[in-house]
Amino acid sequence: MTLKAAGSGAVARRGGGGPVRVMLVDDSAVIRGLLKRILDGEEGIVVEASAGNGKRAIEALDRFDVEVVILDIEMPEMDGMTALPLLLEKKPGLRVIMASTLTAKNAAISLKAIANGASEYIPKPSSTGALATGGDFQHELVTKIRALGQAARREARAPALRRPGIKPAAAAPKGLYGDAKVALRKGLAEVPKVLAIGSSTGGPQALFNMFELLGNRLTAPILITQHMPPTFTTILAQRLQKVSGLQASEAVDGEIIVGNRIYVAPGDFHMIARRGGGAPVIKIDSGPPENYCRPAVDPMLRSLAAVYGGKLMVVILTGMGTDGTKGAREVVAAHGSVIAQDEPTSVVWGMPGSVATNGLCSAVLPLSGIAPYVLRKFGAPTA
């Protein structure tokens, strides 16, 4: 096991301040070295330790106070899926990012890992050369580490507020989540006819939890943009179908938007709505990324607002950044409504926090409260 000689004790003595402390876990010393080189060049991040398999990573927690772990899936002696629950048991509050090459098998394993407590995933480029020069990969890696490190420190300050289903963000103690105010708008004047959901970091688990509560009781069309690469969105749709009992699939260009269906934006494409001859249809768009993302939430919301107006309800779930805010403004201007997940139950309160603090929401709710709220507003049975 390769361990960084400096840092852990000194950082810990600063009471959780300083750079985000990371451990790299991968059976390839070359990959670990490349990742370390990337992260060493970033302000606010320090690689405290690295390990060649899950067993050594667990042992490293005895010596190093890390906050975020980059965890490979396939490793000798102890693989990532075996190590994940042991790491989380040994250090509650640890944030784990699953790292794997982009295959259907690894996508399915990564989403299973998220259901079992991992915070995020990141698809590794297929070659070391692409990893060393991949600007998009490096940006995504660094952004996720920073966001999850901040979330870990927030939880350390107030661990009770991370239990799902408790106080909404507006009721949180002053100063704990900043001084931003959440001013709520009036809800829809009419019963909505379509539901749109945007999510990113922490989104898959939030979606699974939400659809377990929704089940198949919502008969309106449901359109979802989750920041995900290709292959992952295919597996996400399959899991949502299993959880909800509704037909769910990646959206197909030109298909008509109908009820009792879940449409998932396919990886690397925006999903937008257009007026068809008789009914709205889906268009799959390969236009430029927005907010560094494709698919992005903003183009979906803009198009749905133009097509459905006041009959549109939007849910913004956990995620980093501000994707969805510009689109939500157009939804509100078209007399639709927006609700957001609250900060205590979000992995990262970036996207939902942005729409909430910009005065665009008619409700800011804990994750467990979103499905009942949606069902009531759509006039669907709640039990």
Residue 281 DSSP symbol:
E
**Whether the Cβ atoms of residue 188 and residue 373 lie closer than 8 Å to each other:** no
What class, spelled out in words, does domain 169-378 have in CATH? alpha beta
Band of the pLDDT at 183, cuts 50, 70, 90?
Answer: confident
**Whether the Cβ atoms of residue 366 and residue 213 lie closer than 8 Å to each other:** no
**Whether the Cβ atoms of residue 253 and residue 269 lie closer than 8 Å to each other:** no
- Please name the helix (run of DSSP H) or strand (run of DSSP E) that holds residue 340, with its range, or none: strand 337-341
Rounded CA separation 300/336 (Å): 14
Query: Which of 26, 285, 298, 323 is an active site residue?
Result: 323
200-228 pLDDT, tens digit per residue, is: 999 999 999 999 999 999 999 999 999 99
- Please name the helix (run of DSSP H) or strand (run of DSSP E) that holds residue 357, with its range, or none: helix 351-357
The Cβ-side half-sphere exposure at 304, using a 13 Å CA radius, reads: 35
Query: What integer pLDDT is reported at residue 159 of this predicted model?
Result: 60
Residue 182 DSSP symbol:
-
Verify whether residue 323 is a known catalytic residue.
Answer: yes
The reply to whether 169-378 shares the fold of 8-157 is: yes
Secondary structure string (H, E, C) spanning 4-69: CCCCHHHHHHCCCCCCEEEEEECCCHHHHHHHHHHHHCCCCEEEEEEECCHHHHHHHCCCCCCCEE
Query: Which of 199, 200, 303, 354 is an active site residue?
Result: 200
Query: What integer pLDDT is reported at residue 131 of this predicted model?
Result: 67
Rounded CA separation 241/249 (Å): 8
Radius of gyration of the chain (CA): 21
Among the listed residues 233, 265, 261, the one whose alpha carbon sits nearest the alpha carbon of residue 251? 265
User: What DSSP letter does each residue of 65-118 carry, written as one string?
Assistant: --SEEEEESS-SSS-HHHHHHHHHHHSTT-EEEEEEES-HHHHHHHHHHHHTT-
Rounded CA separation 164/65 (Å): 26
Query: Which of 227, 285, 298, 362 is an active site residue?
Result: 227
Exposure pattern of 307-318 as b/e (b: 16+ CB <10 Å)?
bbebbbbbbbbb
From the DSSP assignment, how many helices (H) and strands (E) are in the chain? 13, 14
Verify whether residue 200 is a known catalytic residue.
Answer: yes
105-160 pLDDT, tens digit per residue, is: 888 999 999 989 999 999 887 766 666 666 778 888 999 999 999 888 887 876 65
**Whether the Cβ atoms of residue 317 and residue 341 lie closer than 8 Å to each other:** yes
275-318 pLDDT, tens digit per residue, is: 977 889 999 999 999 998 999 999 999 999 999 999 999 999 99
CA angle at residue 353 from 157 to 342, to 5 degrees? 65
Stretch among 14-23, 46-55, 72-81, 300-309 having the lowest mean pLDDT = 14-23
Band of the pLDDT at 41, cuts 50, 70, 90?
Answer: confident
The second-level CATH assignment, the architecture, of 8-157 is 3-Layer(aba) Sandwich (3.40)
CA angle at residue 48 from 61 to 57, to 5 degrees? 35
Domain ranges of the chain: 8-157, 169-378
pTM: 0.86
40: left (phi over 0), alpha (psi -120 to 50) or beta: alpha
